[in-house]
Amino acid sequence: MVTLNYALAKVLEYSAPLGVVEVVPLWDSVGRVLASDITSDINMPPFNKSAVDGYACKIADLNQPLSVAEVIAAGQMPKIEIKQGTCSKIMTGAPVPLGAECVIMVEEVEELQSNQIKFTGTYSKTNIALFAEDVKVGDVVLKKGVSIEPQHIAILAAVGVSNVEVSAKPKVAILVTGDELVEPNVSPTQSQIRNSNGHQLYAQIVRAGGTPIYGGIIDDTQSSTYKAIQNALNESNIVVLTGGVSMGDFDFVPKVLSDLGVEILFQTIAVQPGKPTLFGVKGNKLVFGLPGNPVSSLFQFDFLVRSAIIAMMEGSNPVRPIVKVPIAQTYKRRNADRLALVPATINGDGEALPIDYHGSAHIFALANATCVIMVPIGAQKVEKGELVDVRSI
Ligand code: AMP
Ligand code: MG
Residue 289 near ligand 1, beta carbon < 6 Å: no
pLDDT at 271: 98
pLDDT, tens digit (0-9, with 9 covering 90-100), for 217-275 = 998 899 999 999 999 999 999 999 999 887 777 788 989 999 999 999 999 999 999 99
CA distance 79 to 88: 10
**pTM of the predicted protein model:** 0.93
Q: Give the rounded percent of residues in the chain with a pLDDT score beyond 70.
A: 100
Average pLDDT (165-188) is 97
Give the number of the atom of ligand 1 that is nearest the alpha carbon of residue 217.
19
Nearest CA to 191 out of 200, 179, 205 is that of 179
pLDDT at 252: 84
Phi, psi of 79, deg, nearest 5: -110, -25
pLDDT, tens digit (0-9, with 9 covering 90-100), for 320-357 = 999 999 999 999 999 999 999 999 999 999 999 999 98
pLDDT, tens digit (0-9, with 9 covering 90-100), for 126-166 = 999 999 999 999 999 999 999 999 999 999 999 999 999 99
CA of 305 to the centre of ligand 2 (A): 20
Residue count of the chain:
393
Phi, psi of 103, deg, nearest 5: -120, 120
Residue 196 near ligand 1, beta carbon < 6 Å: yes
Whose alpha carbon is nearest atom 3 of ligand 1?
Answer: 243
DSSP-based three-state secondary structure for 67: strand
By the CB criterion, residues less than 5 angstroms from ion ligand 2 are: 178, 243-244, 292
Residues contacting residue 223 through CB under 8 Å, at least 6 positions apart: none
CA of 308 to the centre of ligand 1 (A): 23
pLDDT at 210: 98
Give the number of the atom of ligand 1 that is nearest the alpha carbon of residue 177.
16
Of 74-78, 179-183, 361-365, which gets the smallest average pLDDT? 361-365
pLDDT at 387: 98
CA of 9 to the centre of ligand 2 (A): 28
pLDDT, tens digit (0-9, with 9 covering 90-100), for 191-224 = 999 999 999 999 999 999 999 999 999 988 999 9
Residue 343 near ligand 1, beta carbon < 6 Å: no
Residue 291 near ligand 1, beta carbon < 6 Å: yes
CA distance 317 to 307: 8
Nearest CA to 94 out of 109, 83, 106 is that of 106
pLDDT at 249: 78
Whose alpha carbon is nearest atom 6 of ligand 1?
Answer: 292
Mean pLDDT (the chain) is 96
Whose alpha carbon is nearest atom 23 of ligand 1?
Answer: 292
Average pLDDT (107-125) is 95
CA of 193 to the centre of ligand 2 (A): 11
CA of 246 to the centre of ligand 2 (A): 8
Q: Which residue has the higher pLDDT, 186 or 114?
A: 186
pLDDT at 297: 96
As a whole number of Å, the end-to-end CA separation of the chain is 24
Residues contacting residue 333 through CB under 8 Å, at least 6 positions apart: 340, 375, 380, 381
User: Does the structure show a pLDDT above 90 at 59?
Assistant: yes
Sign for the CA dihedral angle at 134, 140, 142, 143 comes to negative
Give the number of the ligand closest to the Cα of residue 176: 1
pLDDT at 382: 98
pLDDT at 143: 98
Residue 146 · residue 33 · CB < 8 Å = yes
How wide is the angle at C-alpha 322 spanned by C-alphas 206 and 326, nearest 5°?
125
Average pLDDT (85-89) is 97
